[in-house]
Amino acid sequence: MSKALKIVMGITMLTGGIMAQKMTVHAAESNTRTGQAVRMNGTVSLASQVENNPAVKAAHYQVTQAVQALTMATTAVKTAMSDLQAAQTTLDAANKTLAKNQKIQTHMGVLKQAATDRHVKATKALDEQLATKKTSQTAVTTAQAAVTKSQAAVQVAQSNFDKDNSAANKVTLQTTQAKLKTVQETLTAAQANLDKTNEHVMMAEEELANAKIEVSGTSRDFQMAQRDYDIVQPQAAVNQAKAAVTAKLQRVAGTQDQVVTAQRELSQAQAGLTTVRARTLATLTAAAEKPMTEKPVGERPVVSHSTGTSTSTNQSAAPQATPDKPTLNQSSSASVPTAQRVVTTQPRQATTVLRTTSPAMAKPVTQQTVPTTATKTATLPQTGEQTNRVLTVLGFVLLAATSLFGFSKQQRRHKTTD
C-alpha cells in the first residue's frame, strides 16, 4: 500500500471518529431534551389519567346532562314567558273590544232611556193639559149660560122699565145690566183660559209625538248597537283569554321551578365532579409516590404507548449495546422516572387534558435513580437530526472514496507511463 493511500485512509478514519464523537454529543443532548419532555409529559399524563378515569367521566356526563337540563328549562321559561305575553296581549285586546262595545251599548241605552223618559213626561203633560182644557171648557160653558141668563134678565128688566119708568124698574135694569157685564167678563176670561189651554194641549201633543219618534229611533239604534257591537262574544273571548293567561302563569311558575331544580342539580353535579376528580387525583398521586421496592435493580420497565401498560424485562448487569434504531419505548423507559412510569397505566386517548389547580398536582413527583444499563439506551433524536448526521457521514465517506479512487487511477496512469 502506497503512502498516499495510507494518508487518505487515515484522514477518512479521523473524519469518521470526529463525526462519531459529534454524534455521541448530539445523542447525549437529545437524550437530555427527551428526558425533560418525557418528565413534562408525566405531569400531563397524570392529568390525562384523572380526566380519563371512568368515575370522572361519569361525573362529567352528569354535569353535561345537568347543563342540558338547565338549558332546556331556561328555554322553557323563555317560551312560557313569550306565550304568557301573547296571552296577555290577547286578553288586553279582548278587554278593549268588550269595553268599546259596552260603552256604545251603554250610550245607546242611555239615549233610549232618555227618549222613553221624554215620552212618559210628554204623555203626562198632555194628560194634564187635556184635564185643564176640560176644566176651562166647563168654565166657558158655565159662563156662557150665565151670560145667556143675564141677557134674558136684562131684556125683562128693560121691558119692565120701558113699560114703567119707575125708579125700582130702573134699579132692576141697572142691576141686571151690571150682572150681565160681569158674566160676560167671566165668559171672556174663561174663553181666553180655554184658548190658552188648547195651545198647551197642542204643544203637549207635539212633544208627545216627538218623544214617540225619539223612542222609536233610539230603540232601533239600540238594537243595531246590540247587533253590531255585541258584548256576548267579546265577553266570552275575555273569559277565554283570562283562562289562557292563568294557564300560562301556571306554566311559567312550573318552568321556573324546573330551572331552580336544574340549577340545584347542576351545582350538585359540579360538586360531585370536583370531589371525584380530587379523589381520583389523590389516588393516582399516592400510587405515583409509592416507592418501587418489589423490582430488582436490573429490571427495566418498558412503557408501551400503543397499549398504555408498563412491562418489565430482566436486563443483565453488563452494559448493553446501543441499538441501531432507537425506539420510543426504550427512550421513554430510560428517561421517565420510576414513579411516573408506574402511573402511566391508562391507555392514551385523544382527549383534552385539563390542568387542575389542586395541591396534589403542584406537588413535585418523586424521581428515582435508574440503573446505568438503562441510561445507556438509545434516545429518540429530534426530527431530521439523525438523517442529517447520516447524510453528513455518507458524504464524507463518498468524498474519501472518490478521492481514493481518483488517486489510485492517477497512480496507475503514472505506472503505465513509466
How far apart are the C-alpha atoms of 257 and 238, rounded to whole Å?
28
| Phi/psi of residue 198, nearest 5 degrees | -65, -40
Residue 62 in contact with residue 233, Cβ under 8 Å? no
Q: Which residues contact 219 (CB under 8 A, 6 or more apart)?
A: 112, 115
CA distances from 170 to 147, 153, 173 (A): 20, 13, 5
Among all chains, which residue has been given the C-alpha cell 449495546?
321
Q: What are phi and psi of 341, to 5 degrees?
A: -70, -25
What per-residue confidence (pLDDT) applies to 141? 93
Give Cβ neighbours of residue 379 (< 8 Å, ≥ 6 apart).
Answer: 27, 30, 31, 34, 35, 326, 331, 334, 335
pLDDT given for residue 399 in this prediction: 72
CB–CB of 338/370 below 8 Å? yes
What number of CA atoms fall less than 13 Å from residue 138's CA on the CB side? 6
In angstroms, the CA 373 to CA 355 distance is 34
CA dist 133 → 157, 159, 338, 359 (Å) = 35, 38, 137, 119
Q: What are the distances in angstroms from CA 192 to CA 40, 136, 197, 199?
A: 134, 9, 8, 11
DSSP 242-264: HHHHHHHHHHHHHHHHHHHHHHH
| Per-residue model confidence (pLDDT) at position 45 | 77
Contact indicator for 53, 280 with CB cutoff of 8 Å: yes
Given a contact cutoff of 8 angstroms between Cβ atoms, the answer to whether 94 and 204 are in contact is no
CA-CA distances (angstroms) from residue 37 to 51, 134, 290, 333, 379? 21, 133, 23, 13, 12
| Separation of alpha carbons 256 and 288, rounded Å | 47
Q: Per residue in 140-173, is it b (16+ CB within 10 Å) or e — as a string? A: beebbebbeebeebbeebeebbeeeeeeebeebb
Give the pLDDT of residue 25: 64
Q: φ, ψ for residue 81 (rounded to 5)? A: -65, -40
Beta strands in 284-365 (DSSP E): 299-303, 310-314
In angstroms, the Cα distances linking 42 to 261, 341, 365, 374 are 41, 8, 9, 18
Which phi and psi angles does 302 have, rounded to 5°? -120, 125
- Give me the amino acid identity at 45: S
Residue ranges in the chain whose pLDDT is less than 50: 34-35, 37-42, 292-385
Q: Name the pTM for this structure.
A: 0.47
State the angle between helix axes of 3-52 and 232-289 in degrees (0 to 180), rounded to the nearest 10.
130
8 Å CB contact between 304 and 329: yes
pLDDT at residue 299, as a whole number: 40
Query: What is 269-293 written as a DSSP string?
Result: HHHHHHHHHHHHHHHHHHHHHS---
Specify the amino acid at residue 346: Q
